[in-house]
Amino acid sequence: MRKMYSSVAPLMAAIIWGFAFVAQSVGTEYVGAFTFQSTRSFLGAATLIPVILITDRRKRRIGTAVPVSAADKKHLLIGGVVCGIVLTVASLFQQVGIAYTTVGKSGFITSMYLVLVPILGIFLHKRVPIKIWGCVTVAAVGLYYLSISDSFLLSRGDTLTIICAFCFALHILCVDHFVAGADGVKISFIQLFVSGVISGILMLIFDHPTMASIGAAMIPILYAGILSSGVGYTLQIVGQKYSTPTAAALLMSLESVFSVAGGILLLSQVPTLREFFGCALIFVAVIFAQLPVLGGKRQSTKTDPS
């Protein structure tokens, strides 16, 4: 049973996250980026409430509950708020960018955050293995074939998604910093709630949504909020509990592949041969980049980039 959880749970998370790019793309047809991000974040936070309650109750029942000090609560709150702010910026760049590109390209460009994390680690005085520089080079070539036109220009959507990938990489570093000694699910709840509040304020200022427009986008919002943010995160936690971080991360990296599948099956967005080649190069770079990064100490969490 544990072996099944270790493979099925991360794979299901990858499928959910991959098809979430379709939900985000469809959602842009009805509501603005701030509206979509706010509503999906609040839904995702609400979905995690029963997970937190059930987990805490189980810990109390089996006697593994640990008293939480005031300092720990402060650390959890600050971590959730900081991660929530960075997550909001990353998600909004992604949500705006996906309106100007295909879901497949968005999925693969976003996945480059796994290559960028160790590069940004330079600013934290961390050594970057030679293998990572090779992966960055391969990913850059893949990005060229995926997004650069004959006039050597990036589209607006691809440019915004590249910025999104950098922001998600920064978000991973923030999570790694604050998750030590804290509950990963509770940090996720706080960051989603913070993202919902910030995006909600921007929604009221810029989007001015109507109940009719939100109702029209309800299915994409429900998918992105409940399934992508709530169920997907829980599946990831279950998968990593019974698996190694490397194996779980490799399976969850398939979300970029499923984003292409979703674009083809549901939106008829068929990549060109050149774009397929670019996707393949980025995918190879992402897979190899994770091996030295995740192969050491156990990583507590991986953030949902969709």
What is the crossing angle of helices 184-202 and 33-62, to 10°? 160
Is position 283 within any domain?
yes
Is position 300 within any domain?
no
Tell me, what's the pLDDT at 123? 82
Is position 303 within any domain?
no
Tell me, what's the pLDDT at 236? 74
Is position 136 within any domain?
yes
Query: What is the DSSP secondary-structure string of 88-145?
Result: HHHHHHHHHHGGGS-HHHHHHHHTTHHHHHHHHGGGGT----HHHHHHHHHHHHHHHH
Render each residue's pLDDT in the chain as its tens digit; 306 residues: 666 666 788 889 889 999 999 999 999 999 999 999 999 999 999 999 998 999 889 988 988 888 888 888 999 999 999 999 999 999 999 999 999 999 999 999 998 887 888 888 888 777 878 888 888 899 889 988 888 766 667 889 999 999 999 999 898 888 878 877 788 888 889 999 999 999 999 999 999 899 999 999 999 999 999 999 888 877 876 676 666 655 666 777 788 899 999 999 999 999 999 999 999 999 998 888 877 554 444 444 445 566
Is position 210 within any domain?
yes
Is position 87 within any domain?
yes
Show the CA angle centred on residue 20, arms to residues 19 and 25, nearest 5°: 100
Question: Cα(184)–Cα(80) distance, rounded to whole angstroms?
Answer: 10
Question: Cα(253)–Cα(93) distance, rounded to whole angstroms?
Answer: 20
Is position 306 within any domain?
no
Tell me, what's the pLDDT at 244? 62
Number of domain units in the chain: 1
- b/e burial code for range 230-265 (CB count within 10 A of at least 16 → b): bbbbbbbbbbbebbebbbbbbbbbbbbbbbbbbbee
Tell me, what's the pLDDT at 68? 83
- 53: helix, strand or coil: helix
Q: pTM of the full predicted structure?
A: 0.85
Tell me, what's the pLDDT at 2? 63
Is position 92 within any domain?
yes
Tell me, what's the pLDDT at 254? 84
On whether the CB atoms of residues 209 and 24 are closer than 8 A, the answer is no
Distance of CA 18 to the CA centre of its chain: 10
Distance of CA 110 to the CA centre of its chain: 8
Tell me, what's the pLDDT at 34? 97
Q: What share of the chain is helix, strand, coil (3-state, %, to 5)?
A: 80, 0, 20
Question: Cα(243)–Cα(157) distance, rounded to whole angstroms?
Answer: 36
Question: Cα(262)–Cα(23) distance, rounded to whole angstroms?
Answer: 9
Question: Cα(43)–Cα(38) distance, rounded to whole angstroms?
Answer: 9
Which residue range forms the structural domain that includes residue 37?
2-294
- CA quadruple 252, 32, 91, 235: dihedral sign: negative
Helix (H) or strand (E) holding 192: helix 184-202
